[in-house]
C-alpha cells in the first residue's frame, strides 16, 4: 500500500525523478568543454558572442547558418533555442556548466510533465513508473548531455504543456496558453509542426472527439494559424521552406528498409537495455539494407505489420495501446526519410519525445506486474531504474572532456572520418601531436573527400611555422569544400605571409561572403585595409570584429580605433568645401 500511496503523491514522484536525473546526468554538470555540434553552434558562434547586438541576426538566420554561414547545407530555423543560448551567454557567461544545469532542469521538467499526462490516462502506478522510466531511458542521454540536445528537451516540455492545457474542459485562457506554448515549440524544433495530428489522435482515443467538432475546431484553427505564421517567418528567414542537406540514401525503398532495421537495433534495443548507445552513425557504420537481400525485409515487414494493426485498432476500437504506439511516433516522421530526405540516418536524441509511448508501455507493464506480485515487481523496478541510471551516467561521463568524448565516439563508430579528424585535433591540442597527426591521416584515408582533416592539418602546420605545408593543406581543404569561412581566413593569412596582399584580401572577402560575422576575417581584413590607407573600410571591419568577438583582448582597442577612424572621417568631410 505504501508504494501505491507513493505513486499517487506528486511531490514524492517529483523528488524521486529529480534524484534519478541527478544520478543519471550529474556528470554533465562537471563538463567544461563544448563538444562536437556544441562547439560549432554555441562556443564558436560569433552571433552569441555579440550579445544583444547579435539577437536580431539570430532571429533572421538559420540554425546552422549562424555557425557555418551561407555554406550551411542543412536549413533549420530555431530562434527560440538560439535565444535560450544567448540568454545564458548574457547571464552565466561562456562556461559550459551552467548551460548543462539548464539542460538537466529542462529534462526534469519534461519528466514531470510526462507524469502529469500519463496520470490523466493511466493508473497512478503506471504513470509513476512510466515517468521514472522516461527519466533514465538510456537513449535520452545524448539529448541531455549535448547542449544542442536542448532542442529536444525544450520542444518536448512545450508540447507536453500544450497537450495538458488543450484538454477538456477548455477555456479561453487555456486555449490561449496552450496555443502560445505550441507556437513557442515551433521555434525550438521543426517536428513540433506535427503536434496538431498528435492532438487529434489523442482527442479521438480518449475523448471520442474529432478535430472538426465545435470545441476542438477552435483549437485546431488556432494551431493552424500559428503554423501559417511560423512558415511565413521561416520562409522569410531561410529563403527556402525546408532543406535536409545531401540525401543519405539513394532511394526511398533502401531508406525504408535500412531505417526499419535501424529502428530495432539502434533505437528500441538501446532504449530498453542501454547497449549500443552512440552519438555518431555516419557512413559506413550502418550498411544499407538493399531490396535484393532477403534479410533486408523482415524488420520492415514486422514494423509495417505492427503499425498497420495499431492503426486499425485505433480507428475501429480507439485502443489505447495503439495510441501510445502510433501517436508519439508521429514526431519521428521528419527524421526517418519519409517526409523528406536527410543527410543522416538518424540519431538517438531524436527519440526523446517519441519515447513517450515506450515509457507509457513500460509503466503499464510494471503496474500490472505489481498488481500480481507486488514485492518482486517493486524489487525489479528499483533494480532496472538503478541500472538505467548507471548506464546513462557511464555514457555521459565520457562527455566530460574532448579527448574521452571522441574516444567514446570512435569506440562505437571507428569508421567515422569526421570524428577521427576532430579527435586528432584534440590530441594535438592536448600536446600529443604525433598521435593527433596519425588520427588526421587515418581520417583522410577513411574519407579522402572530407575537407576537415586537411584544414586541421593546415592549421597545425601554420602554428608550427611551416607555411609551405599549411598552404598545400589549406588548398586541399578548399578544393574539397570551398564553403568553409575559416579555411579562407587561413588562406588569406598564408597569402599575406607570402607577400601576396591582393590575394590575401580576396581570400578574406571570400570568408566574409560566407560568414559576415567571422571575427578573424574582419580583424585581418581591417589590418590589410588600414595598412593600405583605406580608413573608412577598415573602420567597418574593426567595428565588426569588436562586435562579434567582444571577449577578445584586442576588441576594446579595435572598437576605439573604429571610433577614431570614424571621427577623423567626419572631420575630413566637414573640412571639404
pLDDT digits over 85-101, tens only?
Answer: 999 999 999 999 999 99
**Residues paired with residue 74 on neighbouring β-strands, in sequence order:** 244
Considering only residues 332 and 67, tell me which one the structure prediction assigns the higher pLDDT: 332
Over the stretch 425-472, which tens digit does the pLDDT of each residue have?
999 999 999 999 999 999 999 999 999 999 999 999 999 999 999 999
Give the domain-ending residue among 396, 419, 454: 396
Over the stretch 508-531, which tens digit does the pLDDT of each residue have?
999 999 999 999 999 999 999 999
Q: Three-state DSSP class for 74?
A: strand
Confidence of residue 533 (pLDDT cuts 50, 70, 90): confident
Q: What is the mean pLDDT of residues 484-489?
A: 95
Indicate whether 419 belongs to any domain: yes
Q: Residue 336 phi/psi, 5° resolution? A: -115, 25
Residues 163 and 251 in one domain: yes
Residues 348 and 488 in one domain: no
Over the stretch 30-71, which tens digit does the pLDDT of each residue have?
988 899 899 989 999 999 999 999 899 989 888 888 888 888
Give the domain-ending residue among 396, 419, 449: 396
Q: What is the mean pLDDT of residues 532-541?
A: 90
Residue 468 sits in a domain whose CATH number is 1.25.40.10
Q: Please state, in angstroms and as integers, the Cα–Cα distance from residue 69 to each residue in 40, 477, 508, following that order.
A: 11, 17, 14
Q: Please state, in angstroms and as integers, the Cα–Cα distance from residue 553 to each residue in 542, 545, 548, 556, following that order.
A: 13, 11, 13, 7
Residues 83 and 199 in one domain: yes
- pLDDT reported for residue 72: 79
Cα dihedral 375, 377, 380, 385 in deg (nearest 10) = -110
Indicate whether 540 belongs to any domain: no
Q: How many residues does the chain have?
A: 577
Residues 419 and 388 in one domain: no
**Residues paired with residue 243 on neighbouring β-strands, in sequence order:** 75
d(CA 524, CA 158) in angstroms, rounded, equals: 43
Indicate whether 460 belongs to any domain: yes
Residues 389 and 489 in one domain: no
Checking if the pLDDT of 3 tops 70, the result is no
d(CA 182, CA 202) in angstroms, rounded, equals: 16
- pLDDT reported for residue 2: 43
Q: What is the mean pLDDT of residues 11-28?
A: 94
Residues 6+ apart with CB under 8 A from 113: 156, 157, 160, 161, 164
d(CA 102, CA 148) in angstroms, rounded, equals: 12
Give the domain-ending residue among 333, 361, 396: 396
Checking if the pLDDT of 493 tops 90, the result is yes
Indicate whether 503 belongs to any domain: yes
What is the secondary structure of 188-251 as a DSSP string?
Answer: T-GGGGGHHHHHHHHIIIII---TTSHHHHHHHHHHHHHHHHHHHHHHHHHSSS-EE-S-S-SS
Over the stretch 114-155, which tens digit does the pLDDT of each residue have?
999 999 999 999 999 999 999 999 999 999 999 999 999 999
Residues 522 and 382 in one domain: no
Indicate whether 335 belongs to any domain: yes
Residues 380 and 517 in one domain: no
User: What is the chain's percent helix, strand, coil content, to nearest 5?
Assistant: 75, 0, 25
Over the stretch 302-318, which tens digit does the pLDDT of each residue have?
999 999 999 999 999 99
- pLDDT reported for residue 494: 97
Cα 417 from chain centre: 20
Q: Three-state DSSP class for 63?
A: coil
- pLDDT reported for residue 70: 82
Confidence of residue 1 (pLDDT cuts 50, 70, 90): very low
Residues 256 and 375 in one domain: yes
Q: Residue 138 phi/psi, 5° resolution? A: -55, -35
Residues 386 and 458 in one domain: no
Indicate whether 542 belongs to any domain: no
Share of the chain above pLDDT 90, in %: 79
Q: Taking each helix axis from N to C terminus, what angle separates 433-446 and 417-429, rounded to the nearest 10 degrees?
A: 170
Backbone dihedral region of 208: left (phi > 0), alpha (psi from -120 to 50 degrees) or beta? left
Q: Residue 74 phi/psi, 5° resolution? A: -100, 130
- pLDDT reported for residue 440: 96
Q: Three-state DSSP class for 18?
A: helix
- Three-class secondary structure assignment of 383-435: HHHHHHHHHHHHHHHHHHCHHHHHHHHHHHCCCCHHHHHHHHHHHHHCCCHHH
Average pLDDT value for the chain? 92
Residues 390 and 411 in one domain: no
* Structural domain containing residue 508: 403-534
Residues 210 and 335 in one domain: yes
- H or E segment and range at residue 75: strand 74-75
Say how many domains are in the chain: 2
Pairing of strands 74-75, 243-244: antiparallel
- pLDDT reported for residue 339: 75
d(CA 81, CA 164) in angstroms, rounded, equals: 22
Considering only residues 108 and 8, tell me which one the structure prediction assigns the higher pLDDT: 108
Over the stretch 252-269, which tens digit does the pLDDT of each residue have?
899 999 999 999 999 999
Indicate whether 470 belongs to any domain: yes
Residues 433 and 311 in one domain: no
Indicate whether 283 belongs to any domain: yes
Amino acid at each position: 500500500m505504501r508504494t501505491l500511496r507513493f505513486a499517487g503523491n506528486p511531490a514524492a514522484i517529483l523528488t524521486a525523478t529529480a534524484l534519478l536525473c541527478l544520478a543519471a546526468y550529474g556528470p554533465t554538470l562537471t563538463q567544461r568543454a563544448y563538444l562536437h555540434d556544441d562547439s560549432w553552434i554555441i562556443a564558436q558562434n560569433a552571433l552569441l558572442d555579440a550579445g544583444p547586438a547579435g539577437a536580431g541576426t539570430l532571429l533572421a538566420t538559420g540554425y546552422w547558418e549562424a555557425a557555418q554561414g551561407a555554406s550551411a547545407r542543412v536549413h533549420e530555423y530555431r530562434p527560440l533555442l538560439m535565444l535560450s543560448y544567448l540568454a545564458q551567454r548574457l547571464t552565466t557567461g561562456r562556461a559550459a556548466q551552467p548551460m548543462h544545469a539548464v539542460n538537466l532542469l529542462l529534462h526534469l521538467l519534461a519528466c514531470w510533465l510526462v507524469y502529469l499526462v500519463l496520470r490523466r490516462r493511466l493508473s497512478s502506478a503506471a504513470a509513476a513508473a512510466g515517468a521514472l522510466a522516461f527519466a533514465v531511458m538510456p537513449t535520452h542521454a545524448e539529448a541531455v548531455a549535448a547542449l544542442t540536445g536542448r532542442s529536444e528537451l525544450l520542444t518536448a516540455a512545450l508540447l507536453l504543456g500544450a497537450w495538458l492545457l488543450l484538454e477538456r474542459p477548455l477555456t479561453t485562457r487555456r486555449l490561449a496558453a496552450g496555443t502560445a506554448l505550441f507556437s513557442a515549440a515551433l521555434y525550438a524544433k521543426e517536428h513540433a509542426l506535427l503536434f496538431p495530428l498528435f492532438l487529434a489522435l489523442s482527442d479521438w482515443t480518449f475523448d471520442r472527439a474529432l478535430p472538426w467538432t465545435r470545441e476542438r475546431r477552435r483549437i485546431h484553427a488556432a494551431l493552424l494559424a500559428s503554423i501559417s505564421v511560423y512558415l511565413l517567418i521561416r520562409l522569410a528567414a531561410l529563403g527556402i521552406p525546408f532543406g535536409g542537406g545531401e540525401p543519405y540514401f539513394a532511394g526511398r525503398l533502401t531508406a525504408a528498409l535500412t531505417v526499419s532495421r535501424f529502428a530495432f537495433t539502434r533505437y528500441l534495443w538501446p532504449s530498453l537495455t542501454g547497449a549500443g548507445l552512440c552519438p555518431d552513425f555516419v557512413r559506413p557504420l550502418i550498411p544499407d539494407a538493399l531490396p535484393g537481400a532477403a534479410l533486408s525485409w523482415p524488420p520492415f515487414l514486422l514494423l509495417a505489420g505492427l503499425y498497420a494493426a495499431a492503426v486499425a485498432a485505433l480507428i475501429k476500437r480507439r485502443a489505447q495501446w495503439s495510441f501510445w504506439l502510433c501517436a508519439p511516433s508521429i514526431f519521428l516522421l521528419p527524421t526517418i526519410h519519409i517526409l523528406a530526405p536527410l543527410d543522416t540516418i538518424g540519431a538517438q536524441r531524436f527519440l526523446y519525445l517519441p519515447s513517450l509511448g515506450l515509457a507509457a508501455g513500460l509503466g503499464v507493464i510494471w503496474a500490472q506486474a505489481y498488481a500480481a506480485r507486488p514485492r518482486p515487481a517493486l524489487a525489479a523496478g528499483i533494480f532496472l531504474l538503478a541500472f538505467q541510471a548507471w548506464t546513462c551516467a557511464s555514457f555521459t561521463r565520457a562527455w566530460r572532456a574532448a579527448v574521452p568524448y571522441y574516444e567514446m565516439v570512435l569506440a562505437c563508430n571507428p569508421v567515422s572520418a569526421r570524428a577521427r579528424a576532430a579527435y586528432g585535433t584534440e590530441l594535438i591540442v592536448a600536446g600529443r601531436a604525433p598521435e593527433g597527426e596519425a588520427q588526421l591521416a587515418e581520417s583522410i584515408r577513411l574519407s579522402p573527400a572530407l575537407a576537415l582533416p586537411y584544414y586541421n592539418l593546415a592549421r597545425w602546420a601554420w602554428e608550427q611555422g611551416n607555411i609551405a605545408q599549411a598552404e598545400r593543406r589549406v588548398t586541399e581543404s578548399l578544393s574539397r569544400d570551398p564553403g568553409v569561412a575559416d579555411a579562407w581566413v587561413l588562406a588569406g593569412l598564408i597569402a599575406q605571409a607570402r607577400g601576396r596582399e591582393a590575394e590575401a584580401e580576396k581570400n578574406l572577402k571570400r570568408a566574409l561572403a560566407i560568414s559576415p560575422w567571422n571575427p578573424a576575417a574582419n580583424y585581418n581584413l581591417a589590418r590589410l585595409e588600414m595598412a593600405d590607407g583605406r580608413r573608412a573600410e577598415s573602420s567597418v571591419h574593426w567595428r565588426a570584429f569588436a562586435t562579434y568577438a567582444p571577449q577578445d583582448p584586442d576588441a576594446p582597442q579595435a572598437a576605439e580605433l573604429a571610433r577614431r577612424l570614424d571621427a577623423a572621417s567626419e572631420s575630413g568631410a566637414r573640412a571639404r568645401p
